[in-house]
Amino acid sequence: MSATGSSNPEYVNARVRARRGALYDDEDYRKLVRMGPAEIARFMEESTYEEEINALGARFSGVDLVEFALNRSLAKQFNDILDWAGGRLYDLIARYLRKFDAWNVKTVIRGIYADTPREEVETDLIRAGEFDDRLVERLLEATTIEEVVDRLSGTIYGPPLRTAYEDYEESGVLVPLENAVDRAFYENLLTGLVTNEATEQYREFLYAEIDFRNARNALRLARSGANIDPSEYYIDGGRLFSASELSQLASSPEELVTRIRESTYGDRLSAALTDLDRADSLIGFERALEAALLEYSESLGHVFPLSVSPIISYILAKEREVENIRAIARGREAGLSEDEIEEELVIL
């Protein structure tokens, strides 16, 4: 469907509830952690991933088969949701799923930049966003970055990419283009969002998404020691920091951590913030942010069962499942121990 027509949360929620039941549970993860990549592919073939594994089995094997099947399943599931949804509900879901459009735009641009063959770029796309196949095909056919920018002119990425293209021409690096794409996605999460009682929680979740992104980027900048103004990387729309506050806080990671600790997210992230003080790696903190977002989304599903919230909660759970299975398969391939892999998984 599309943004036209009437909103149909009851129908979509009913379909999503059935899909949610098919997600892997703790017992499945316990089994997966003990399997090798080939066994994982076999296990997936016997579950909801059968179609994807069979379709890709002739082209890929081992962990690559697992990863591409996961991406294809993710795309199929989210496309189904967008197909089912109509009216305002479509708009609410598409806001979040545009992150895959952003991913695809960046993948196409990187492909052109690095002279990667079209087939390889196409394999790396995750067609789970709002772009239709025709637009994706047109992007894949583009031979220059300027053509990609032109072909995106009717989307939310068009105007910011046009501005960033000048910077790209000057610097020769993709950073301005990639940042413009991601910024367009994040800043459009909340633009024009009409909130009522049913969508209030969804809005809270989107705030958290932006705040967490700002917090992790500020910490990355602070820890990198690079002489960069953090406000350049600030995403508007969050509630935790303003651009000027972030600029001040980024020079002192301790103050930044204190600020997060004292915020509404403090309780959820308390343990991770304590670890962050001790460790020199941000990975644990990022994992904690992901877990906090997932927890947030879990709670979304229970308050208004017939709103967009349970659907977003399912989308996040599905994303997390894909990430967990991929982590297990890649971890096993790299020879990581079961404990190390389990530590990386985010399971509620």
Partner 1 sequence: MAEDVKPTRKNLMEIEDRIELSERGHDTLEQKRDGLIMEFMDILDQAQDVRSGLSDDYERAQHKINMARAMEGDVAVRGAAAALKEYPEITTQSKNIMGVVVPQIESSRVKKSIDQRGYGLLGSSARIDEAADAYEELLESIILAAEVETAMKKMLHEIETTKRRVNALEFKVLPDLYEGQEYIEQKLEEQEREEIFRMKKIKAKKEEEEKEAKEADKAAAKEPGTATAD
Locate tokens 């000057």: which residue?
170
- Name the minimum Å distance from CB 176 to partner 1: 8
Q: Residue 152, interface with partner 1 (CB under 8 A)? A: no
Task: Pick the closer one to partner 1 by CB: 237 or 301.
Answer: 237
- If one asks whether residue 106 binds partner 1 (CB under 8 A), the answer comes out as yes
d(CA 90, CA 93): 5
The widest CA-to-CA distance across the chain, in whole angstroms, is 54
Q: Is 149 one of the binding residues for partner 1 (CB under 8 A)?
A: no
* Binding test (CB under 8 A) with partner 1, winner from 69, 89, 174, 257: 174
Which of the stretches 23-31, 51-59, 153-161, 166-174 binds partner 1 when contact is defined by CB under 8 A?
Answer: 166-174
Site for partner 1, residues 192 to 251, rule: CB under 8 A: 213, 216-217, 219-221, 224-228, 233, 235
Q: How far is CA 156 from the centre of its chain?
A: 17
Binding of partner 1 by 139 (CB under 8 A): no
Q: Are 249 and 259 within 8 A, CB to CB? A: yes
Nearest distance, CB of residue 175 and partner 1, angstroms: 6
Q: Which residues, in sequence order, are CB contacts of 3 under 8 Å at separation 6+?
A: 86, 87, 88, 90, 91, 94
Whether the CA torsion 248, 249, 253, 258 is positive or negative: it is positive
Q: What is the DSSP letter of 236?
A: T
Query: Residue 118: left (phi > 0), alpha (psi -120 to 50), or beta?
Result: alpha
Contact between 122 and partner 1 (CB under 8 A)? Answer: no
Site for partner 1 in 29-68 (CB under 8 A): 63-64, 67
- Asked if 76 interacts with partner 1 (CB under 8 A), we say no
Binding region for partner 1 (CB under 8 A) out of 46-54, 81-89, 245-253, 329-337: 329-337
* DSSP string for 42-54: HHHHTTTTHHHHH
Contacts for 234-238: CB closer than 8 Å, 24+ residues apart: 235/183, 235/186, 235/187, 235/210, 236/187, 237/186, 237/187, 237/189, 237/190, 237/191, 237/206, 237/207, 237/210, 238/207, 238/210, 238/211, 238/213, 238/214
Q: What is the nearest approach in angstroms of partner 1 to the Cβ of residue 229?
A: 10
Among 98, 183, 259, 320, binds partner 1 (CB under 8 A): 183
Question: CA quadruple 100, 105, 108, 114: dihedral positive or negative?
Answer: negative
Give 122 or 295: the residue with its C-beta nearer to partner 1. Answer: 122
Alpha-carbon distance 220 to 217, whole Å?
A: 5
7, 71, 73, 297: residue in contact with partner 1 (rule CB under 8 A):
71
- For position 331 contacting partner 1 by CB under 8 A, the verdict is yes
Q: Which residue from 215, 206, 309 is spatially nearest to 259, judged by alpha carbons?
A: 215
39 vs 124, which CB is nearer to partner 1?
Answer: 124
- Residue 20 is a binding residue for partner 1 (CB under 8 A): no
**Residue 345 near residue 238 (C-beta atoms within 8 A):** no
Q: Which is nearer to partner 1, 251 or 299 (CB)?
A: 251
CB 245 within 8 A of CB 218: no
Q: Is 167 in the site for partner 1 (CB under 8 A)?
A: no
**Distance in Å, CB of 100 to partner 1, minimum:** 12
Among 96, 131, 186, 207, binds partner 1 (CB under 8 A): 186
Which of 133, 144, 82 shows the shortest CA–CA distance to 104?
Answer: 133
Figure out which of the listed residues 178, 200, 275, 295 binds partner 1, where binding follows CB under 8 A. 178
23-31, 106-114, 147-155, 195-203 -> range binding partner 1 (CB under 8 A): 106-114
List residues binding partner 1 (CB under 8 A): 63-64, 67, 71, 102-103, 106-107, 110-111, 113-114, 116, 124, 172-175, 177-179, 181-183, 185-186, 213, 216-217, 219-221, 224-228, 233, 235, 281-283, 285-286, 323, 326-327, 329-331, 334, 336, 341, 344
